[in-house]
Structure 1
Amino acid sequence: MNTPTHSAPAQIRIFDTTLRDGEQSPGCSMTPQQKVVMARGLADLGVDIIETGFPASSQSDREAHALIARDLRDTTLAVLSRCLPGDIETSLRTLSASARPRLHLFLSTSPLHREHKLRMSREQVLQSIDTHVRLARGHVDEIEFSAEDATRTEEDFLHDAIAAAIAAGATTINLPDTVGFTTPEEIRAMFERAIAKVAGADRVVFSAHCHNDLGLAVANSLAAIEGGARQVEGSINGIGERAGNCAIEELVMALKVRNAFYNLDTRIDTQRIVPTSQLLSRLVGMPVQRNKAIVGANAFAHESGIHQHGMLRHRGTYEIMQPQDVGWPSSQMVLGRHSGRAAVEQRLRALGYWLEEDELKLVFEQFKALCERQRVVGDADLQALMQDAAVSDGYRLASMTISDVGSRANALVELSDPDGNRIAETAQGNGPVDALFGALSAATGVQLQLESYQVHSVGIGADARGEASLSVRCDGEEYEGTGTSKDIIEASALAWLDVANRLLRQRRVEQQEVAAA
């Protein structure tokens, strides 16, 4: 990476345009109130500048900025404006409520835009830059000038436009790749030459705003940083015009994970990346693709048996960052047709099932058969397999009787133990379930402290079944169990035995492992 020739901040400034360019993405418009909620999320994330909108384009953008400015007093708030006196006046009125205002002026500089969009000559473009930057700077200290379509602008004229903006008082110079046309090598060189050759370049911060039309927005933004840019503009989840903008979460984590290479960082609280991404997704109703880097549901998910085996041995084999660092709770071992036995065993143990070798072999065969019928096997599927599996070393419910004894309930349970013997026990309780659990505890010798208990219907009509779910604590650890039956009391007994059998099996396996060691 080439060292920039101008004096630059130690960190990369993050200019977030989710509320302006991002909102221009079809279907992603937000109400002023939604923008306030998103702006708070961005401020908590730690972005340096929030671009709230384009005031001259709508009353909604002006209203949103006023609400945001009332809330956020420590974050720089920017608005976009064309180089037109009317736009600038509207933007200045909008910015008047901001504690830290920035006016973002833009004007096209490429020959294609000059001829077909502006119908202006080179000289007219330079005069407009000088006039309107000076007008704005007379009212606001922070002025950002963007040379729209900079990457398709003749280099000599681009340098003239930058020099004019700096001379007129611009404090930040943005060189956008407006249509996502450039490549990393080209944009790196563009920034290097502009910073080296333009008079006054050392007095301003250079910024990159890259679009993703060729899927290069993040790569081009990183290359711009290598060329000397010290501000990057982008959006959460990469939303924006057409194929979108540089995805802030990807750029930030590239700088963090590859810090030894870039030796630069940002102010972003990376543990808030996923919550911020999900907040935006909820507000605009646009889901994030599952394989999206950093914030996609599959970003830290592993299904391949080879990958899962490596992850179980050492996380670094297949992950270059911790999921917790970006706001995910943990990595996921997705169980499917490519998964191996080690991953299935690990997930079963996490659910509280400790199996011996022959039992695991049987359950794994059933797991593989299930994978032929469905793509992903979840925890509920594994628990159903365990209930259906021919594992013969647990207690089985043979019969039970519940009766009322005055103000209390009495339960009689008969169990079949792992050796096939019958055990009968009774207990009283404050209700049928309390009495039932007391009798089961007496029969098995397992003491469980009930934390929560729920029953609900599975299915409808005459075929509906009751499912009991409970959460218990034993020896300081929390366990969950489920049971299903047409009788909810029987379902409750099966849920209690689900936990008790797992605990007994776990203790036996641990004892065997200690003996073997």
Structure 2
Amino acid sequence: MLKHRTTYEIMNPEDVGWEGTKLVLGKHSGRAGFRNALNDLGLKVPDDALDGVYQRFLELADRKKNVTGADITALVSDQLTVGSSTLNLVRWNANLGSGGAATASVVIERDGEEFAGDARGNGPVNAMFQAIDSVVKVENELTYYHVEAVSPGEDAQGQVHVRIKVNGAMYAGHGLATDIVEASARAYLSALSQYAEQRPDTVLMGSSTSRWS
């Protein structure tokens, strides 16, 4: 299948004046097509991380019709960071009712154990941050929050960058997802993980009883 480049390219780049290769993948590209895309983009992924990266690609391809080179580059960077995180997002949910406060629920993994929490907030992102705070007991101040699109289109991935202040020290995090609430949750947890890696004994966790079971 991959002998024919048209199976994973939307068009011939030279036809529209592009130099080099502009890959656009979909969920039917397969593992071999994904590996070829990584090579064409110059991305080096360790063998022990490839399965996780490929799984993230499949999840993204289910949400996006076309996955671009920019999407893959951002995904690889995010997954390699997540793979070394102390705190990991397992499941989440957020709702915004008509005329009411937003609610969010979250399950976070730390050292193989899952912890659950929920909260209300002023909007779904704020509710998600409050839910995370109900699980990860670290007093902090959110000093920076920025959202940007990785690629064009209504189904583009959103990349969120945050900075938090804990006891006068700054910790940065970033998250990636097609849903801004999820990307925000990943970014916030990434920043909290930076702190947890340096001060693990000071990070208290909330309820370990999952409300999703």
Given the two structures, how large is their TM-score scaled by the length of structure 2? 0.53
Q: Distance in 2 between matches of 1:390 and 1:397?
A: 9
CA drift of 1:404 comes to: 2.9
State the AA in 2 paired with 1:496: Y
Residue 195 (structure 2) aligned to one of 485, 489, 503: 503
Partner in structure 2 of residue 412 of structure 1: 105
Q: Distance in 2 between matches of 1:474 and 1:402?
A: 26
1:314-344 deviation per Cα after TM superposition (whole angstroms, max 9, x unaligned): xxxxxxxxxxxxxxxxxxxxxxxxxxxxxxx
Q: What is the SS of the residue equivalent to 1:461?
A: coil
Residue 159 (structure 2) aligned to one of 467, 490, 505: 467
Partner in structure 1 of residue 136 of structure 2: 444
Q: Distance in 1 between matches of 2:129 and 2:147?
A: 15
Residue 122 (structure 2) aligned to one of 423, 430, 440: 430
Partner in structure 2 of residue 490 of structure 1: 182
Checking the alignment, whether the CA contact within 8 Å between 1:470 and 1:496 is kept in structure 2 is yes
Q: What is the SS of the residue equivalent to 1:423?
A: strand
The 1:431/1:448 distance shift into structure 2, 3 A limit, reads: same
Checking the alignment, whether the CA contact within 8 Å between 1:459 and 1:465 is kept in structure 2 is yes
Checking the alignment, whether the CA contact within 8 Å between 2:171 and 2:194 is kept in structure 1 is no
Q: What is the SS of the residue equivalent to 2:172?
A: strand
Q: What is the SS of the residue equivalent to 2:131?
A: helix
Partner in structure 1 of residue 92 of structure 2: 400
1:227-250 deviation per Cα after TM superposition (whole angstroms, max 9, x unaligned): xxxxxxxxxxxxxxxxxxxxxxxx
Checking the alignment, whether the CA contact within 8 Å between 1:482 and 1:494 is kept in structure 2 is yes
1:475-501 deviation per Cα after TM superposition (whole angstroms, max 9, x unaligned): 111222211111111000000011111
CA drift of 1:509 comes to: 9.5
Given the two structures, how large is their TM-score scaled by the length of structure 1? 0.23
Checking the alignment, whether the CA contact within 8 Å between 1:409 and 1:430 is kept in structure 2 is yes
Q: What is the SS of the residue equivalent to 2:86?
A: coil
State the AA in 2 paired with 1:470: V
CA drift of 1:448 comes to: 2.4
Q: Distance in 2 between matches of 1:390 and 1:483?
A: 9
RMSD: 3.2
Q: Which has the higher strand share?
A: 2
Matches within 5 A, 1:30-179: none
Residue 80 (structure 2) aligned to one of 374, 380, 388: 388
Q: Distance in 1 between matches of 2:167 and 2:107?
A: 26
Partner in structure 1 of residue 169 of structure 2: 477
State the AA in 2 paired with 1:459: S
CA drift of 1:422 comes to: 1.9
Structure 1: give runs of 5+ residues left out of the alignment.
1-361, 367-380, 511-517
CA drift of 1:387 comes to: 4.0
Q: Distance in 2 between matches of 1:385 and 1:509?
A: 28
Q: Distance in 1 between matches of 2:157 and 2:119?
A: 26
The 1:472/1:385 distance shift into structure 2, 3 A limit, reads: same
Partner in structure 2 of residue 30 of structure 1: none
1:16-65 deviation per Cα after TM superposition (whole angstroms, max 9, x unaligned): xxxxxxxxxxxxxxxxxxxxxxxxxxxxxxxxxxxxxxxxxxxxxxxxxx
The 1:463/1:396 distance shift into structure 2, 3 A limit, reads: same
- Which structure has the larger Rg? 1
State the AA in 1 paired with 2:123: G
Partner in structure 2 of residue 152 of structure 1: none
Q: Distance in 2 between matches of 1:478 and 1:390?
A: 19
Q: What is the SS of the residue equivalent to 1:447?
A: coil
Q: Distance in 1 between matches of 2:121 and 2:92?
A: 15
Q: Distance in 2 between matches of 1:463 and 1:409?
A: 23
Q: What is the SS of the residue equivalent to 1:403?
A: strand
Structure 2: give runs of 5+ residues left out of the alignment.
1-44, 50-72, 203-213
- Highest relative contact order (Cα 8 Å, sep 6+), 1 or 2? 2
Q: Distance in 2 between matches of 1:402 and 1:493?
A: 11
Q: What is the SS of the residue equivalent to 2:103?
A: strand
Checking the alignment, whether the CA contact within 8 Å between 1:441 and 1:448 is kept in structure 2 is no
The 1:390/1:400 distance shift into structure 2, 3 A limit, reads: closer
Checking the alignment, whether the CA contact within 8 Å between 2:106 and 2:118 is kept in structure 1 is yes
1:218-276 deviation per Cα after TM superposition (whole angstroms, max 9, x unaligned): xxxxxxxxxxxxxxxxxxxxxxxxxxxxxxxxxxxxxxxxxxxxxxxxxxxxxxxxxxx
State the AA in 2 paired with 1:404: L
Partner in structure 1 of residue 4 of structure 2: none
CA drift of 1:409 comes to: 1.1
Q: What is the SS of the residue equivalent to 1:455?
A: strand
Q: Distance in 2 between matches of 1:422 and 1:407?
A: 29
CA drift of 1:389 comes to: 5.1
CA drift of 1:447 comes to: 2.5
Partner in structure 2 of residue 8 of structure 1: none
Checking the alignment, whether the CA contact within 8 Å between 1:481 and 1:499 is kept in structure 2 is yes
Q: Distance in 2 between matches of 1:466 and 1:460?
A: 10
Q: Distance in 2 between matches of 1:451 and 1:390?
A: 22
Share of identical aligned residues, percent?
Answer: 32
